[in-house]
Each structure stands twice: as structure tokens, then as C-alpha cells.
Amino acid sequence: MISLEDCIALCGLDRDEVDAIMEHEHVPEIEAAAIACELLSKSTGPGEIRQILIDDIRDARARGDLPHAAKLLSALRHFSKEHPEAGHSAEETT
């Protein structure tokens, strides 16, 4: 049987990045991993994931959850490093 950790490892993102998709899309973690896999297979997908992370950072800041915003910013920086095809740097959200 394949575990949640296996699914996350196979999707091409790390847990924090999958969690951001889960938060943004309001879906269970396993579904977020599937969405990540699907998005990374599309030419526009990395940019869409980048925008999800940015949206989540802005939402966390808007509700005053700065620790969560910082965690998401770290996830965005990691994603940008691992997926330069996604475009702009993580610094633009600061």
C-alpha cells in the first residue's frame, strides 16, 4: 500500500508546498499531492503553484498570522529554487 508520504515524495513537491496547495484548494493532503503532480506536468503548472503560494502568504498576512506567512514564504523560496521555470523570485511578496 502506498502511504501519504510516498504520494508527497512522488508528486515533486515537499510537504510544506503540498500543504499550501491543500490550504488554498481546501482539499485533503492526498488530493493536494495529486493536484501538485498534475500541475507540475503542465507547462503553466509551476507558475500556478507559485501563485498559490503567493496567495496563501497574502491571506496569512491579511489575517495577521505572520508565523504562518513566514513558513509559506520559506516554502515559496524553496519552490522557486527547485523550480526556476516558475518565474519571479520569492522576494516579490515581501
- Cα-based angle 38, 42, 11 (whole degrees, multiple of 5): 35
Contact 32, 19 (CB under 8 A): yes
**Interval 9-49: pLDDT, tens:** 888 899 999 999 999 999 999 999 999 999 999 999 999 99
Number of domains in the chain: 1
Residue range(s) defining the domain that contains residue 82: 4-93
* Cα 80 from Cα 88, distance rounded (Å): 8
Contact 13, 7 (CB under 8 A): no
Say which DSSP state 55 is in. Answer: H
Confidence band (pLDDT; 50, 70, 90) for 90? very low
Higher pLDDT, 13 or 88: 13
